[in-house]
Structure formats: structure tokens, C-alpha cells
Structure 1
Amino acid sequence: MNFSFRETITATMILFAVIDIIGSIPIIVDLRHKVGHIQSEKASVVAAVIMTAFLFIGEEILNLIGIDVNSFAVAGSFVIFFLAIEMILGISLYKDDAPETASIVPLAFPLIAGAGTLTSLLSLRAEYHVENIILAIIINIIFVYLVLKSSNRIGRFLGKSGLAIIRKIFGVILLAISVKLFTSNLSMLF
């Protein structure tokens, strides 16, 4: 067993910043107003399954198409970099249609376990032990579940300016993470 408290905390913070469930509260609140009830339990479980499955079979999929984890981590650092730029500058580089319903697919997959999260998982796999990443996924899913359950109260409490400040703070953290992923994996490619 390769349990490391430091690795678990670092992986948890990375996933927390990439998932950005706090920054997604306005979207979740809007979904609640449109469709009424959000299935927090199902969305959380499906997102956890997607992330855990990708953690284990993502590398095999990459090997099947001839890409190593370090190359994917460098590419992932670019994705994380642009997500951070979106968060810091308040711009949208990636535009997606707003989901029509609050079903599992728009909530669990694009919002919680999106491209940035899956990229980050493989990038983390290149640097950390799997059991620490799984524990980080579990911690984040618990937090996601709690946020989904209380999104209306959190949104009212923080207000628009509070949510904007939190989003910018996590944007800077993501920016630093992207630089670290890029520099540590780029050297392994040569």
C-alpha cells in the first residue's frame, strides 16, 4: 500500500480545482430552477464511476492509440491552463449548449467529470500512486454531493461577488498546477 497523506491532499486539491463545483453553483442553481429536482445521489455516483473507470482504463485507451501518459499529461496541462485562464479572466473559450434537463448525463458527465477532470486524472496518474488518487476522488465526490444537495443555500449565502472571488482563486491554483504538470512531464518526453 502506497498511501501518502501529502499525495492525497495534493490530488484532492487538484481535482477540487478542476471539478470547480463551487464555480458551478450558478449553473446548478439554474438547472434547479428549470427542472425542479436534481438527483444529487445519482449524479455523484455516476461521476465517481466515470472518474474511477477512466483512471484505470484511460491509460490502456491511450496505449491502444499509441500515446504515453507523459504526452497526455503535457496535453492535459494545456487544457488545465485554458480552464484556469477562463476562470481568472471570466471569459469562455469553450462554449457548450446549456443542458435541457438535470439528468445524469449533463450533470455527472460534462459538469462534474468533464474533459478537464479526466485529463487531470491521467496527469495525476503519471505522478501519484493510484490509491491516493482514488481517495482524492472519493473526498471530492462527497464534497460534490454536499454542494449539489445545498446549492441553493450556498448560492444565496455567497452571492455573485463571492462566487466570482472563489472562481478566480481556484483559477490561479489551476494555473500553477498546469505549469507544474507541464514542466515535470515535458522533461520525461526527451
Structure 2
Amino acid sequence: MFDISTFISHALSGFVILFAIIDITGAVPVVVSMLERGQTYKPLIVVIASLAFYIAFFYLGQAILKFLGVDFTSFAIAGALVLLAMAMEMIFDITIFKDTNHTGDATFVPLVFPLIAGPGSITTILAFKTQFSNAEILAAVLLNLLVVYLVLKNVYLVQKFLGKAGVYALRKFFGIILLATSSKMLIENLSKIIAQVSGAGE
């Protein structure tokens, strides 16, 4: 039976986690810097391409994992470790994942990939399958892409409104949220594997 309160709660939880990973507000200075260097992008195309990217990996990801012989629990643990590394970056201002600079049109690279639909967010929506329904995950993705569109469409206004201190504070806050989420995901899925191993050994 469909429970609207559970759906909203799970969709919002997914939204907050994914928002922390995409970190579009934290990327505002990067986007402004690209524009000042003469790079361009189309916000609507960025969102559509990112959505297509997410949907492709969301539905094909399971087939790929099955082909590789990897179950979702193990994948969720790997995803939790990636989120843990990203949380460390946000909280302690360190660089774990390398990034590269590009010139010209920035719509697909680096905006769609790796900033919005990057390894962290893709891993997360696949790992979400162990916690949320497909509809809840899709709602979380759509809500995030709506925020992404609004930020990219009004990037200078957002930069002025948040300021450097605001962007820094948000990054730290969502870093802590991400740390808590990755820890919970890691513990839950490790417990499942331990239970499976214990059950097989009996």
C-alpha cells in the first residue's frame, strides 16, 4: 500500500544526500570562474543531459553489476566508501579526487560530468536501491536537478546571495551530513554481509 508520508520522507532524505554530493552551491565559484574565462553552458541542456545520464546508469547499472558478478550490498559498501572520501574533502578541505580544467563549451564537460552526474552521485543513486523505492529515488533526482537548473540559471545572483562565507558554511554542513550518511550506509550493509556469512556458516 502506498504511503505518501513515507514517500515524501524518503524522497527528501534522498534529495538531501544527493544535494550534498552534487554540491551545486559549492560549485558556484567554479562555474563563475568558467564563465569569466569565456566558457559557456546551457542550463536546460545540462539538466536534460544529467537526467539522461542518471536514468541510463540507474537502469543499466543493475545489468552491469550482474554481469560483473557484484551484488547491490557489496556495491553499496563501495558507494559508502566513496561518499566517506567526499565527506572528508568537504570537511577537511583536502583533495582526494582529481579534477581537470577544460576550455570552450562547458555544458557536458565538466558540468554534466563530473560535477553533476559524476562518479559520486551515480554510485549513490545505485546504492539508494538498497534503501529507497525507484519512485523515491527518481523524485530525489528530479528535485536536485531543479535546484541545479535554478542555480546555473542565476549563478551570479546565487554567488552574491550566499557569499564566500555562505558557500563555505554550506559545504561544511553538508560534509557532516554526508559523513553521517556514509557511515550509516556502511554499517547497515556490512551488517547484512556479516549476517549472510554467519547464516552460511551455520
Both proteins in one fold, TM over 0.5: yes
Q: Deviations along 1:51-72, whole A, 9 cap, x unmatched?
A: 1221111111111111011101
Structure 2: stretches of 5+ with no match in the other structure:
195-202
TM-score using structure 2 length: 0.90
**What CA RMSD, in Å, does the superposition of the two structures yield over aligned residues?**
1.4
1:164 aligns with 2:168: yes
Match of 1:39 in 2: 42
* Residue matched to 1:74: 77
| Structure 1 residue 108 corresponds to structure 2 residue 108 | no
SS of residue matched to 1:35: coil
1:15-54 alignment runs, 5 A limit: 15-54=18-57
Matched, 1:84 2:87: yes
Shift of 1:74: 0.3
Who wins on radius of gyration, i.e. which is larger? 2
Q: In the aligned structure 2, how far is the partner of 1:99 from the partner of 1:171? A: 26
TM-score (norm 1): 0.95
CA distance in 2, matches of 1:37, 1:97: 17
- Percent identity reads 37
- Counting matched residue pairs gives 190
CA distance in 1, matches of 2:193, 2:126: 16
Which residue number corresponds to residue 199 of structure 2?
none
The alpha carbon displacement at 1:36 in A equals 4.8
> Is 158-167 or 2-11 further displaced after alignment?
2-11
CA offset at residue 103 of structure 1? 2.9
Counterpart of 1:152 in structure 2 is 156
The structural deviation recorded for 1:147 is: 0.5
Instruction: Tell whether 2:184 aligns with 1:180.
Output: yes
Runs (4 or more) in structure 1 with deviation over 6 Å come to none
